[in-house]
Amino acid sequence: MKIDQAKFIISAVKEEQYPKNRFPEIALAGRSNVGKSSLINRLIQRRDLARTSSKPGKTQTLNFYEINEKFYFVDVPGYGYAKVSKQERNKWGEMMETYFETRGPLKCIILITDLRHKPTEDDKQMYAYMKYLQLPAIIVATKADKVKRNQRKKHIEQMKTELQVIDSDPLIPFSAVTGEGKDIVWRELKRFL
Ligand code: GTP
Ligand code: MG
């Protein structure tokens, strides 16, 4: 995908702030610090458009990025960050439920997991929730640069089995560091744009 335009639009906390022009939206969900913002930056080849950090819990709002005046990437706050208070977690839950369950332009969710590890309980719950809502998913298993070649297949199979990924949802090994998997992610995304 050739990126002619990529622009941060808004950090939204409530529905009234979501963009109103109804472009298709692709949301990125995953546990805190897994690499959601890095994935956006790599896909659109901008080093810093989406804020990344070595400290988990950086993205706390729904961040809308408009791409090519055609669609949005929506960077979603990471789940499973232990240091967040119960009150904050409830707030997160409410915001996410509203977004995932009522947002018409939401076409697909990219669920980002860490290829180095088995999916967490939160990852499993998130995927099950997406399937319950019948939302199409692309699973991107990131940090592939940290997994040895001969361990690859095992980790991919394990991820598929543990998450119970359905056949119509692709699972793509990816690295924001090397760019591996980027073209495949774009190919899959094009179906929704
Ligand atoms: P929150 O917004 O805090 O939930 O984090 P996030 O999911 O947006 O993660 P972010 O993109 O900020 O990345 C977290 C850390 O992981 C950073 O230190 C990144 O440099 C690192 N990282 C992200 N993707 C990769 C990858 O593919 N490979 C490696 N080796 N490191 C990565
Ligand atoms: Mg982030």
In angstroms, what is the span from residue 52 Cα to ligand 2's centroid? 5
Residue 57 CA: nearest ligand 1 atom is 3
Q: Is 63 in the pocket of ligand 1 (CB under 6 A)?
A: no
CATH number of 51's domain: 3.40.50.300
- Tens-of-pLDDT digits for all 193 residues of the chain? 899 999 999 989 889 999 999 999 999 999 988 999 899 999 998 877 777 666 655 557 899 999 999 999 999 888 766 566 777 777 778 888 899 999 999 999 999 999 999 999 999 999 999 999 999 999 999 999 999 999 999 999 999 999 999 999 999 999 999 999 999 999 999 999 9
In angstroms, what is the span from residue 76 Cα to ligand 2's centroid? 8
Please tell me the number of the ligand nearest to residue 39's CA. 1
Domain count within the chain: 1
Name the closest-CA residue to atom 5, ligand 1.
Answer: 33
73 inside domain: yes
Contact 44, 6 (CB under 8 A): yes
* Enclosing domain of residue 158: 6-192
50 inside domain: yes
Q: Is 41 in the pocket of ligand 1 (CB under 6 A)?
A: no
86 inside domain: yes
Predicted TM-score of the model (pTM)? 0.93
82 inside domain: yes
18 inside domain: yes
